[in-house]
Amino acid sequence: MVRYIKDKTGRFDTRPYYEPEELDSECEKIITDLMTAKFGGMKLPIPTDALTVLIEQDVENLDIYADLSSLGDSVEGVTDFFSGKKPKVRISDSLSGASNLENRFRTTLTHEYGHVKFHNYLFSMEKSFSLFPDANEQKTHHCKRDTIVNASRADWMEWQAGYVCGSILMPHTRIKNAVIDFRSQRSSSLDLALGETNTHTLINQIASTFRVSEEAAKIRLLKLTYITDQKDSVPLLK
């Protein structure tokens, strides 16, 4: 159950605090329910069409061909929040129009969904707010490309949205089973530290299975402690 703590960023008096396990559980239920209701059951990788349906359920408008060039090259997604109505999401046309950038398109979609699903209610009593500045000089919060999946915990909104991104695209139960299968074909005591050949192979397999970048797969495996960043540490299966 979500609890509230002091918001040290100053955006709000208090802010929601989620344990990673809580986000994993909630996100797996969200994507499983959607796939069951709309696509005949769960399948991997999660279809990109399913991700757009997921976000469209909770927004006023989803624009996947937005011109965000004025916000800088590293900005590929924007969520606008409004008091009393659903938010709007804009995704850069540089992603949606490039087949070789589909993985980034998918992670950006699910990152913005994290803001929509877990942060929209925070602005229900606030004036119109955007994660990026506009002509009305609204409050701003920048979502840079390099923090889409791995923001610092100090920036709790970005960290939560990034964690949701990984949890939607790589549901905990599914990725756990993939790691178990990988280990069963090798050794239960396999050293899965960064830099090891087996670790690189696992990261590649996860990236391919879930249609994400190798970086996103690596970060998800690290956060779940299925791989480690130190040699001779024992990864945990939980």
Q: What is the pLDDT of residue 84?
A: 79
Which residue stretches of 14-155 are H helix? 20-39, 48-56, 93-96, 102-119
Q: What is the pLDDT of residue 62?
A: 97
Q: What is the pLDDT of residues 149-207, one digit of tens each?
A: 778 888 899 999 999 999 999 999 999 999 999 999 987 677 899 999 999 999 999 99
Model-level pTM greater than 0.75? yes
Q: What is the pLDDT of residue 57?
A: 96
Q: What is the pLDDT of residues 78-126, one digit of tens each?
A: 999 887 788 999 999 999 888 899 999 999 999 999 999 999 888 776 5
CA atoms of 220 and 59, how far apart (whole Å): 26
Q: What is the pLDDT of residue 67?
A: 92
Closest CA to 128 of 182, 194, 83: 83
Q: What is the pLDDT of residue 126?
A: 58
Q: What is the pLDDT of residue 10?
A: 86
CA atoms of 202 and 57, how far apart (whole Å): 34
Q: What is the pLDDT of residue 64?
A: 96
Q: What is the pLDDT of residue 141?
A: 40
- At residue 153, the 3 state secondary structure works out as coil
CA dist 155 → 139, 141, 161 (Å): 15, 10, 10
β-sheet bridge partners, residue 138: none
For residue 26, is pLDDT > 70? yes
For residue 228, is pLDDT > 90? yes
